[in-house]
Amino acid sequence: MTRTETILIWPDTQIPEQDDRAVNALIAFIKDHQPDTIVDIGDWMDFAPPSRWSKGTAAEFDQTLGRDLKKAHEIQAKVRNVWDGEWKRHLGNHDLRVSDSVKRYTPWLHGYEGISYESMLRHEEFEIETLPTFYDVAPGWISTHGHKGVNVNPRPAGTAMSLVKKTGKSVVCGHTHRAGLEPWDQGYNGRTKRLWAMEVGNLMDMKKAGYLGLGAANWQQGFGLLHVTGRSVRPEVIYIENGRFTVAGREYR
């Protein structure tokens, strides 16, 4: 009998804007269910000071990088304390803010290993593999952060669906902070092939996102699961509300 493997898709977290309740609930789930692989969909970090939106403002001089990296290391350690599987990570547009700023404004630092994303996040120590922009995550499936090759759609799963139609593959992405799962069937003469568009939401505390005028948006907390049996893949989106969610009759909070 073919064994089913589970890939957990970790959503946008944007440390230090994370919702600690949701993060801790997800880590408790990981401890209980022991997925074979975790794929971080990107924007693990926010990196607001080097953002182009901060240029020329007081935010550009915010000296919180050390604090934010320490928090990221703490969360990574919490995960590794309960789970030792394969951990892979896409780099989202927020993750790339430091390197983009260096290339634009301090090019003499570009290429220095000490400021590489992998060095700052201690990927070697935590055994985290950096993924390319588009990655064959499962049979017939592509994972990507979602900021390349597509325009953002306001409908949950809409951005992923645009990539499905462009690539002819099922797609799981982040970037939009929305969670949703939508099928796309195609074929003829009664024979169809089903593709899936999947967006995995976020683990953010919207109150910490100062750019949200109302302190709220059409975002959903959540995460994704891909259950892989041979070449068959069953996608699942788990929604988180108020820092809690239920799987198989157990509540995590």
Asked whether the predicted pLDDT for residue 246 surpasses 90, the reply is yes
Q: Whole domain around residue 181: which residue ranges?
A: 4-252
- 188 and 159 in contact (C-beta within 8 Å)? no
Q: CATH no. for residue 120?
A: 3.60.21.10
Q: How far apart are CA 37 and CA 138, in angstroms?
A: 11
Report whether pLDDT(26) > 60: yes
Closest CA to 9 of 178, 118, 137, 117: 137
Tokens standing for residue 67: 């604090």
**Number of structural domains found in the chain:** 1
User: Where on the phi/psi map is residue 73: left (φ > 0), alpha (ψ -120 to 50), or beta?
Assistant: alpha
Distance separating alpha carbons of residues 191 and 25, to the nearest angstrom? 41
**In the structure, what pLDDT confidence band is assigned to residue 217 with cuts at 50, 70 and 90?**
confident
Residue spans of alpha helices (H) in the chain: 20-33, 65-82, 97-105, 117-120, 123-126, 158-167
Per DSSP, what are the bridge partners of residue 171? 142, 197
pLDDT digits (tens, 9 = 90+) for 176-205: 999 999 999 999 999 999 999 999 999 999
246 in Cβ contact with 183 (< 8 Å)? no
pLDDT tens digits, residue range 49-59? 565 554 555 45
Q: What is the mean pLDDT of the chain?
A: 92
Rounded distance, CA 11 to CA 21, Å? 15
